Amino acid sequence: MKKLFTFLMVMVFAGSLFAQITFTGSAQVRPRLDTKDWGGYGKTGTKTGLDHQSDMYYMYRFRINVAAKIGGGWYAKARLAHYGYAEYGFTSGLGMGPKLGGDLDVTAKPSLAFTQMFLGYKSDKWGFMGGQIPMNGLANPMLDVHYYPFKMIDIPWTIYGLGSHFGFAGFVKAGPGKLNITATKDANNLTKENVDGTKPTDLHDTYSFGFNYEFKVAGFALQPALYYAWADKDIAAPMTYGVNAKTPKFSGFTFGATAAMTSNSVDHTFKYDGSFFRLKVDGKLGPGAISAWYDMAKRTDKGVTDVDTDYSYLWLMYKYKVYSGDHGLVLIAPRWRMIKESISNVKDYTRNKIECLVIVKFK
């Protein structure tokens, strides 16, 4: 920690000398009421067992973003935050670092790590970046569907993947829009060879390749996308494809939609088909802004008997700006997130997260 503090002080000093280095960030405290209901089937899928649970806890997060402009289109960026669920610390003992005195809630302290760290080049026509690169699952829920098919809703890519992945990304202006390409490393496999030449393990690394094309037609923004996993035989290699769409503003509101399909058909792995659909609205409402969306999703697990899991998800948030100045702003954002997951005659699960975000952004 002492070395990290010294590094930050050096960077701050360097930033005061060289205008190319900038620091931004945010701090947040979020009280949350979390309720879970397993319905008539209970947590174990039977009539007995835990049926209902509720908890009140607090979440907190502090992030520092560092950006260095080298010149000629070259740059480097990094983010320092807690390496836990969505970069948050929890007073419930979740996503926490070292614990002192045996107290799981009060004395536990979140750790600090680079959750993003990459370099790149950008011009008007093309660009690329490599390292621990940002990948925005809030803007593109197909990342949730592709990487977390057994969760699919409730922004799993942002929560568990921290919105970044090791790999490379690039773009090129093509025709009326922009083609984006990503290549991410999903598993680091290796080959082992015995003295007699036999190979007990012989696996290539697993990658996912993503392609999407952004363009506008009559003010409507469209983004068809494809994600494909490349892996050795007998390792799951899902494919996900779909489209994101967004309307121009109507009376201060924009409307969006996402439709996607996903599947894994590799033998000797867990086979499934899935579908996902989202409707979304954003806009000004009174003194603040509202953001709301509703997701419907289904995954069919293939086997001797197919098993369907149905999901639905509601996100409703109202954001109000308390203060805005030259060096940052303060926001208050109450939010409700409702998750439903059901399997016929086995599971009927509902979770509500009722929370209020108090956010400070600084620059």
pLDDT (tens digit, 9 = 90+) per residue, 201-245? 778 889 999 999 999 999 999 999 999 999 988 899 999 999 999
Q: In whole angstroms, give the CA distance from residue 56 to residue 36.
A: 12
Distance set, CA 121 to CA 15, 62, 181 (Å): 20, 28, 14
Which domain covers residue 302, as residue numbers?
Answer: 24-362
Domain membership flag for residue 129: yes
Say what the pLDDT of residue 104 is: 53
Domain membership flag for residue 332: yes
Where are the extended beta strands (E) located within the chain? 21-37, 52-71, 74-81, 89-90, 113-122, 126-134, 164-174, 177-187, 191-192, 201-202, 206-217, 220-230, 239-246, 253-264, 272-285, 288-301, 307-325, 328-343, 347-362
Domain membership flag for residue 1: no
Domain membership flag for residue 279: yes
Contact 143, 191 (CB under 8 A): no
pLDDT at 315 over 60: yes
Distance set, CA 28 to CA 18, 82, 114, 309, 357 (Å): 29, 12, 18, 34, 7
Say what the pLDDT of residue 354 is: 98
Say what the pLDDT of residue 245 is: 98
pLDDT at 16 over 70: no
pLDDT at 49 over 90: no
Domain membership flag for residue 123: yes
Give the CATH number for residue 159: 2.40.160.10
The model's confidence at residue 48, banded by pLDDT at 50, 70 and 90, is low
Domain membership flag for residue 6: no
Quick one: which of 264, 346, 339 has its CA closest to 300?
Answer: 264
User: Cβ–Cβ contacts within 10 Å for residue 320, how many?
Assistant: 13
Domain membership flag for residue 2: no
Say what the pLDDT of residue 13 is: 55
Q: Which residue has the higher pLDDT, 108 or 28?
A: 28
Domain count, the chain: 1
Q: In whole angstroms, give the CA distance from residue 142 to residue 227.
A: 8
Would you call 59 helix, strand, or coil by DSSP? Answer: strand
pLDDT at 320 over 70: yes
pLDDT over 90 percentage in the chain:
74
Tokens 């660009």 — which residue?
A: 127
Say what the pLDDT of residue 75 is: 96
Contact 295, 322 (CB under 8 A): no
Domain membership flag for residue 260: yes
Q: Which residue has the higher pLDDT, 222 or 96?
A: 222
> Quick one: average pLDDT of 12-28?
74
